Amino acid sequence: MVVAATLMLLLAACGNSLGSVLGSATHKTVTQDGGLVYTLMMRCPSTLPQCDPGETQHEMSVLRYRCQQGLGVSDAVVSQQDVNTITVELPGFTDATRATALLTTPGALDFIDTNGVQLAKGATPTLVIGATPAPGQYTVLFSDADLDTSSVQAEIDPQTNQPVVAFAFRGSVKASFATYTRDHIGQFLTITLDGVVIESATIQSEIDGQAQITGIGTMAQAQNLAAELQSRALPVPVTLVSERQVKPS
């Protein structure tokens, strides 16, 4: 029994050592494997000399999630360079167009009441929250903060064979959204992303479960949007300072 127990401990120790070796062997870095390196500047309120440290950590967490889940870069490194600057390293990743879009897009999604008017895709309406809208302004009814992030998914609609982003609302908001869509059948459900209209479609029936965002160009764009919604919007907008491609060593 003692020998058997000792043997099991030795095997466990060997397994841990082997796992560590394998883990280090498969870990990618930009220096060794090449990839993309980004420098992002957080646009803090002009009244503050620097962003709040807690907000900076939140920002880095959102960016890290987008890298890992949106771009599929499990070894992404997100670090603070100075008080308002963040560096993002993407080992082995070379699609700069997609990475730039995902890292720099704030990702604020709003569902707005357009009073039965369809807005053109690409329009930039003036939005108001918790106030009576003036002429030409529109009330925000729901936002990305109301989403059930576990329900957000990029997929191909089997009926249209086009990329969509499926979503559902969380908690009591789900019932509120169902009521709104039931009371506005025949009118328009208008969705904006960072203040730009991405969809203004006719409500055909009450939506009491999962809904879809359609009209997305490519599956990569749908995956980016899904990652933005899953991670919530960036707490602080960012400006791209530099983007550099590193060749494998």
Return the higher-pLDDT residue of 27 and 25: 27
pTM confidence score: 0.79
Task: Give the residue from 124, 117, 228, 106 showing the smallest Cα distance to 167.
Answer: 228
Q: Count the residues in the chain.
A: 249
Quick one: pLDDT band at residue 25, thresholds 50, 70, 90? low
Angle, alpha carbons 80-58-74 (nearest 5°): 70
* pLDDT of the residue at 122: 95
Token readout for 126 is 């003036």
For the chain, the domains span 29-105+234-246, 109-219
End-to-end Cα spacing for the chain: 51
What average pLDDT is seen over the chain?
A: 88
Task: Give the residue from 164, 126, 197, 196 showing the smallest Cα distance to 188.
Answer: 197
Q: How far apart are CA 210 and CA 128, in angstroms?
A: 26
What is the fold of 29-105+234-246? Alpha-Beta Plaits (3.30.70)
Q: How far apart are CA 73 and CA 223, in angstroms?
A: 14
Quick one: pLDDT band at residue 2, thresholds 50, 70, 90? very low
Strands 77-82 and 163-167: unpaired
Please state which CATH number belongs to domain 109-219: 3.30.1360.200
Task: Give the residue from 71, 72, 133, 144 showing the smallest Cα distance to 102.
Answer: 71
Q: Which of 10-24, 26-40, 141-155, 157-171 has the lowest mean pLDDT?
A: 10-24
Token readout for 115 is 């009073």
Token readout for 118 is 């369809």
Write the DSSP assignment of 215-234 as a string of letters.
--S-HHHHHHHHHHHHH---
Return the higher-pLDDT residue of 235 and 49: 235
Let me know how many helices (H) and strands (E) the chain has, helices first: 6, 12
CB 214 within 8 A of CB 202: no
Instruction: Give the pLDDT confidence of 59-113 residue by residue, as tens digits.
Output: 999 999 999 999 999 999 999 998 899 999 999 999 999 999 999 999 999 999 9
Fold match, 29-105+234-246 / 109-219: no
CA distances to 28, 31, 79, 93, 226 from 74, rounded to whole Å, are 9, 16, 15, 11, 17
